Amino acid sequence: MLGGITVEYKSELDGGGIEFGQDFIPFLRSRGMPKQTRLFEWCAGPGFIGFSMLGHGLCETLCLADINPAAVARCRNTVRLNHLEDRVSVYESNNLRSIPKSERWNLVVSNPPHFIDQYAGDIRAHDPDWAIHKEFFNTIHSHLADNGVIILQENNRGSTVATFRQMIDDAGLEIVFTHGDHKERTHESAFYFIGIMKKGAVVPMWAADAS
Ligand SMILES: C[S@@+](CC[C@H](N)C(=O)[O-])C[C@H]1O[C@@H](n2cnc3c(N)ncnc32)[C@H](O)[C@@H]1O
């Protein structure tokens, strides 16, 4: 149960969203984020983060997508089981390629694959040449509301904020806050958040950098 929603999954689909991914809830509450109209969980797996945010009242409606048909099937089961058909849309999609053009999100969250140089062949963990991140940054613009915020949960064992800064800038986006990151890659897993918006967007108080 996550926020009162029974989330169906198989352990091989869990990328940590049921554990450290739940940090999104206290993190966003501590920032005073108001309830968002429509939330998208990118690289959703079984939707641990998205369903939990819906259940905890942090969004009104939810959109989930993943490339893995097995994960998408679990998301659809969870929707049926919890009678959420009127509030949740689920897409099987390589990145954003099969998402309807009409989808527009106020908030995007994700615990995407975290490593460029480890776990080759594991779609939960490996992002070769950061191609999945780059494509996401380059295709998110038309789906993101003008004052929409993207929050990625990354792992300092696989990246630093600097890893993503240029790709975010090249895509017409900018980092509006970071939280919990280290300057260098760490030996142990250490998760951090990056908040991203369209360049020049008005940053809501809750998403402004505290430093
Ligand atoms: C770290 S796991 C996170 C899963 C889940 N959100 C969680 O927190 O446990 C990364 C997810 O990204 C998905 N993924 C990998 N490549 C993808 C792509 N090109 N497009 C969409 N999803 C992708 C994987 O199938 C996997 O479910």
With a 6 A CB cut-off, is 45 part of the ligand 1 pocket?
Answer: yes
Residue 83 forms part of a structural domain:
yes
With a 6 A CB cut-off, is 50 part of the ligand 1 pocket?
Answer: no
pLDDT in tens, 30-63: 999 999 999 999 999 999 999 999 999 999 999 9
Ligand 1 atom nearest 153 alpha carbon? 8
Residue 3 forms part of a structural domain:
no
Please tell me the pTM assigned to this model: 0.98
State which amino acid sits at residue 78: T
Residue 105 forms part of a structural domain:
yes
Residue 92 forms part of a structural domain:
yes
Q: CATH number of the domain at 186, please.
A: 3.40.50.150
- Percentage above 70 pLDDT, the chain: 99
> Nearest residue CA, atom 8 of ligand 1?
17
Backbone angles phi, psi at 110, to 5 degrees: -170, 150
How far is the centre of ligand 1, averaged over its atoms, from the C-alpha of 184 (Å)? 24
Residue 91 forms part of a structural domain:
yes
Residue 46 forms part of a structural domain:
yes
Four-point Cα dihedral 13, 133, 76, 101, nearest 10: -170
Number of structural domains (the chain) is: 1
Q: Can you tell me the distance from the alpha carbon of 76 to that of 78, in angstroms, rounded to the nearest whole number?
A: 5
> Nearest residue CA, atom 16 of ligand 1?
123
Q: Which range of residues forms the domain containing residue 15? A: 11-207
pLDDT in tens, 74-120: 999 999 999 999 999 999 999 999 999 999 999 999 999 999 999 99
Residue 4 forms part of a structural domain:
no
With a 6 A CB cut-off, is 66 part of the ligand 1 pocket?
Answer: yes
How far is the centre of ligand 1, averaged over its atoms, from the C-alpha of 111 (Å)? 7
3 state DSSP class of 68:
coil
Residue 2 forms part of a structural domain:
no
